[in-house]
Structures are given as C-alpha cells and as structure tokens.
Structure 1
Amino acid sequence: MFVRRPLFLALAVLTLAACSDSDNTLTNDPPPPPEPEPEPAPFAELYEQGVDRYLGLYTPMTSETEGDVVNHAFGAGDGPRCLTGGEYTMATRDQGSAELMIFLEGGGACWSDLCSATETAAPGIPPFGILNPGTPGNPVASWNTAYLPYCDGSIFSGDIDIDLDDDGMTDRYQRGLKNLSAALDVVANSFPSPERILLTGNSAGGFGTDYALPLVRKLFPDTPIELVNDSGVGISRPGLIDQFVEEWNAAAFIPASCDDCIGEDGHLTDYHKWQLGEDDNLRLGFMSTRQDTVIADVFVGIGGEAFEAALIPEMEELEAAYPERFRSFIANGNSHTFIQAQFDLAVQGTSVKEWIGLMLDGSADWVSLID
C-alpha cells in the first residue's frame, strides 16, 4: 500500500490540472463569442407565406425545337392553364451566352369589374424590339432568352379557379402563379448558371416582374438581377390592388409585416422599396409615359392627369430612397409600352434601348429621364 500511494496522488494531481486547463471558469480566459445569426435570405417572409409553393412541381409535356427556339408546352390538368382552360406554353432561346433575359408578356387583366385579357399562349418568341436579336443596337441581342406568355388575366399572380355561374364547372382558370412557377423551373433547368439576369416585361408583364422577382431570386440566389418594368409601375387607386389580391388569391406575394406595401392611395411604391430593401443584388428601372391611357383610363380608371400627378412624385420618392439602385424613364404623351413597341423612342436624347444598355453597362450615365 505504501509504495502505490505516490503514484495514486500523482494521477490525481494530473487529473485536476487537466480539468483546470479545460475549464474557462478556472482561468482568466473569456468565453468564446456567440456565433452571429445568419442574415435572412431575400424574400424569406414570402417563402414562409408560400409564394414558392409550386416551384419544382410541374414539367412540360413536350419541348419542341423550331429554328433557334424551344417551345415548352404543359398540357392540361391541375397545373399551368390559360384563362379559359387552354394549354400554357413558354419558350427559350439558347445563344450560348453567360447572360439571361427573362421576359414577361402583357395582355390585360380579368377581375369581377372588368375582364379584358389575352386568353391564349402562342408558341415562339415575338420578333419585336428587345426580343429580336436582329434589332440594331439591341443591348441584349446575344443574351439567352426566356419568353413567358401571359394568358390568365391575373398579372402572373393568381391561384384560383372560378365558377361564374355556379354550375360546378370552372369558367376562369386564373393560375398565374402556377404558370409563372412552371415556366421559371424551365428557365432554371435550361440556363442553370447565368452570370447576370435581366428580368423584364411590359404592361401586365411589367406588373408581373414584381411577382416574378422572389421566385427568380429563389432559383438564382446569388445572381445579380437587373429589373426593367415597362408600363406596370404600380400607380393605382385606393382599394384596387387589394381587390386583385383577394379575388386572385395572391396574398402570398404581399409581406404580412409590411403594412404600407399597398398604400392608402393604392400605389405600390412602398412595396418596391421593400423589394429593394430585401435584395441588395437588385436594381430597378421603371418606364412609363406621363398619362399612359391603357393603365390610367382603362384599367385603373383615374384618368391621365391624376395618373401623371401621382407618377412623377412616386418615382422621385423611390429614387430618393435608393439613389444607387433605382432610375425612371418617363416619356411625354399617353402611349403604352416601349421595349417591344417603341424601342427607339427617346427622352432627352436617349432612346429606350440606349437607356437599358447604360443600365446593363453599369454606366454613370444611367440616370432618370423625364420629358
């Protein structure tokens, strides 16, 4: 017993020393700092609300090549459909580019007060303006292109089938969210790694860029997005956007935390501020005429003068909030849309296509212009 005791005591001392070295409370070393909380992903709130619920669910029934375009058709069923039940199609053109344009087409709107909307999705890519690689001076002539027709009357946001006469049969398929999600899945599969994206559209497709943005960002989380909204800039009247959201079952697109995203005046200016605040890899360019008659008179119903009185200060407010990432292009008159129909129209000596080109070049000469 006597000869073993020193070995026992030595082991005890070593054990205590080891415990002391591993326990910060027995030394003067401060505890390690806590790990920082990760930054939330852009538009995480919308994903929690289910805006991305149809991504990955639908694939085309057919994908057929015609010239340099591939037409992707989705067939019938519970997935993508046009307003009166027709087949939804979209198209892609691969030019081997590292850059990608996603274009959302226009074509009216359909709700309980007015139904005036395109009801079919034609195959192909229209050869007009920014969509035509042969257009002289087209800044995206060599880019890959995804063309999303519009045919459900809900500005790409709806998720509802409507039986107008209570006969148990669907009369309106307002499946804009399914159409949009399915088409963007095709885009991501066709062009998985673009270095940059131009997300653009005209009229209803201009409005649709707002709704496409969080889905595009979900599919391309790190890609810079340049968004050009042609003639869907969010000037409205009290209650109209709320009515759209309710009738089209589109509430997932409006963040619940943003009480003023739809203003009391009906405008979407604070919604656009929220988008810019969510995503610092995003720039916006908005385009309109002063008194766009299609929006001001036909669909919003406030008249050209009231539209103009709201348009200019709302665009100025957006630029003041995000002076490095927002610009506007406002032409005189009351015509509607530019990037297909009036690509050469100029404001203060700069044409539509030149202004978009300056944006894409990151030029200091990309400034807001107003006639």
Structure 2
Amino acid sequence: MENTKPKSKLKKVLIIIGIIILVIAIGIFILLKLTFLKTFPKLKGEPEIGKWYEVEVDGAKSSDGSEWHGIFRKGTENKVVVYFFGGGVSITPETSDGGNKFYATNMTAQDFVAQGGIGSTAEDNPFKDWSFIVIPYATGDFHAGTGTYEGEKTVYHTGYNNYSAYVEQVRQYIGEPDTLLVTGFSAGGFATSLLADDVIDRFPSAENVTVCVDSSLLLYDGWHETAVDLWKAPTEISDRLTTNNLVLDSLTALHEKHGGSVKILFDCSYRDDTLMQYQSYISSGKMDKTKELGDNFQHDLKEMVNGLQTNIPDVGIYVWSCGEDANTHNTQHTIISANVFDKLGNDRSVGEWIFDAVNGDVKTYGLELLDKTF
C-alpha cells in the first residue's frame, strides 16, 4: 500500500507557507495603504474640522499629464499654513525629457507626507490646529510654471497654474485668517521663496506673516532663462532672478517689498547630501555626493547665509546637522516634513524656531557648523 503520510505532511507545510505568504502580503499592502499608497477622501461640500481631504482641481495636471490634486485640512484656529512639497527639478530640456530621474512626475506617494512633520497632529506640534493648504509637487518647475515643453514627450510644467487654481478654490473654507505661514521643503522651499509674495497677496487679512524656506540652495547661472523659456513662469517671478542664487534673489526682493512686516526664515543642513547631488549635476553633468562636494556645499551655504544676513538684517537662520555620514560628514536633506521637532543639539527644534518667529521672536542657530572642519 502506498504511504500517504509524506504527501500529507508536504501538503500541510505548503498550506502553512501559503498562509504565511498571504499574511505577509496583506501586511505589506496595509503598510503601503497607510504610507506610500495612502489617499484621502475627496472634498465634497463643507470640510470637517481636522480631517485631511484630496481637493480635485479642474484642469490641473502633473508633468506626465495625469491628474493633480491639492491636499487640505481645516483647523480650529484662524491661522493658515500654505505648504509647498518638494521633489527635484527640471532646469533644461534634457532634464525635462529625463522625467523622474530628476523630479517627481506625478502624484504617487505624496498624500501621506502631509500628515508628518509640521502637518502632524502630535500634541507638541504648535501648528496642529492651524488650517493647512498643501501643494503637492509633480511638475518639475518649483511650482512656478505655466508652460508645456514639447520634447521627446509632452511635459506639463504647469505648477503655478495648479497652485493658483487650487488656492483660489479652497480659500472659501479659510475665511479671513489673521496669521499666515508660507513654507516648503526642498523644491517646495524654492517655491516658497518664488511664490511667497503671490501667496501673501491672496490672504490680505493676515497681518502676521512668516515665510520659511527649508533646504533650498542650488547655484545655477541659467535660473532666469529656465524660468522664462522652460517653465514659462509669470514675469513678476522670473524678473527677480538676476544672479545664480534663486532663493537669495527672491527673498531679497520679498524683503525689499514688505520690509519688517514679513518675517523671513531659512534653514538647511550644513552638508545636504541631496542638494549637493543636484549641484554636482549642474556643475559636471553627473549626480554625486562625495566629501569634497560636501565641502563645496558647506562653503556655498556659508556664502548664502552671509548674503541673507547682509540683504535681510532681521532674517532668521537655522543651520543643522542630522544623519551625518561617518566618512563624508554629509547630512540629511530637509526636515519640516519629518523630524522637525528634534532639538538637533540646540535649545529649540526647527519647528519651535518657526513658531517662535511667528510670535515675533526671530532667532538664529547653528552658524558654528558653517566653519566646522574635518
């Protein structure tokens, strides 16, 4: 008689393995739905206080032509954060054709970012009860474009169109805020400098205004040409770009227009390993992040800080170190979307520093890092 016991045992083992694989797959799916694949309900009618929504915007496009949407949360306080996301940049026709090698081309994995860092509802977050107008990034143009590039494919550099239509659509839910914070990280920090004046004009009731640029420094002689010819940015934005430092040009112009009525802040890690990769590409055509490139970035950041302090005497600066590599000493890129409430060796975290400035106490931290040597 044939022995069926080995076959029976094998079948049981296979069933157990199948169950384990299924459980792992379900766990991974749930994790992805809570993070990278997270989506918010579409806003229809009046928003509930404290609930995140996806806001559909007619005609809004990501660079690849897919849908683009805004992200919104209504708070209990009469205060609003206009928050620009980052995700790379296109500066030439070649980088436009390169797509996601250089910048986020669609809305994939962006919604969940809104709930972290400065947008979290953690009890120690002083912004947890503010309204948030979040502008995701999928156009490669620092949220400043109105144009279409026709190269190997059609690329929609229409970030300004998306932002503008979205903000006008959700302003009805904000009312007349008395306090405004304009901020963003990485490409969103560049956007903050470029668009802060535009945002301020859309919220004339806000008498308390703070602008904070997080982790945004790239030196490029062609910024003006890129803004005009590739992105087709509005002239009031592109006309400010007269040097190789887009953020310094834009924040200087903002200060010259508004003076002390707008508090201006800038933060950056002192050897930002993502920004140096893009700077390496601008300089040599190759992405890289060596110790030498870190040295160069540290030097450029010191020059940037000196320029800000010269042009904007009451500017607030926060230079920080986090995630420092043991060999290159290169550091984490951006902070406000994640660990914004870490102290980073200072009395105040970046989040607390921003909130202090909102309340009139503008300070500077971490300048000693700019002279640190190895």
| Fold match by TM threshold 0.5 | yes
**How big is the shift at 1:341?**
2.4
1:269 partnered with 2:272? no
Question: Could you tell me whether the CA contact under 8 Å between 1:90 and 1:183 is conserved in 2?
Answer: yes
Task: Describe the shift of the 1:81–1:317 C-alpha distance in structure 2 as closer, same or farther (beyond 3 A).
Answer: same
1:158 partnered with 2:145? yes
Structure 1 unaligned segments of length 5 or more: list them: 1-61
1:194 partnered with 2:177? yes
Give 2:197's aligned amino acid.
P
Deviations 1:23-81 (A, max 9, x none): xxxxxxxxxxxxxxxxxxxxxxxxxxxxxxxxxxxxxxx73468812321124xxx321
Bigger-Rg structure (1/2): 1
Question: Could you tell me whether the CA contact under 8 Å between 2:146 and 2:234 is conserved in 1?
Answer: no
* Secondary structure at 1:92 match in 2: strand
Q: Over aligned residues, Cα RMSD in angstroms?
A: 2.4
Summarize the alignment of residues 64-213 of structure 1 with structure 2, pairs less than 5 Å apart. Answer: 64=44, 68-75=51-58, 79-110=59-90, 111-114=92-95, 115=99, 116-121=102-107, 122-123=110-111, 126-134=114-122, 136-165=123-152, 171-213=154-196
* Secondary structure at 1:147 match in 2: strand
* Secondary structure at 1:357 match in 2: helix
Task: Describe the shift of the 1:272–1:300 C-alpha distance in structure 2 as closer, same or farther (beyond 3 A).
Answer: farther
- Distance in 2, matches of 1:200 and 1:231, equals 11
TM-score, reference length from structure 2: 0.72
Structure 2 unaligned segments of length 5 or more: list them: 1-41, 284-292, 322-329, 370-374
1:305 partnered with 2:295? yes
* Secondary structure at 2:89 match in 1: strand
Match of 1:32 in 2: none
Give 2:337's aligned amino acid.
Q
Question: Could you tell me whether the CA contact under 8 Å between 1:239 and 1:266 is conserved in 2?
Answer: no
Give 2:255's aligned amino acid.
L
Deviations 1:105-131 (A, max 9, x none): 111123423332222235566321111
Question: Could you tell me whether the CA contact under 8 Å between 1:227 and 1:285 is conserved in 2?
Answer: yes
Match of 2:346 in 1: 348
Deviations 1:323-343 (A, max 9, x none): 23x111111342100111221
Task: Describe the shift of the 1:200–1:211 C-alpha distance in structure 2 as closer, same or farther (beyond 3 A).
Answer: same
Match of 1:314 in 2: 304
Q: Higher helix fraction: Structure 1 or Structure 2?
A: 2
- Distance in 1, matches of 2:129 and 2:335, equals 20
Question: Could you tell me whether the CA contact under 8 Å between 1:236 and 1:300 is conserved in 2?
Answer: no
1:357 partnered with 2:351? no
Give 2:114's aligned amino acid.
P
Match of 1:230 in 2: 214
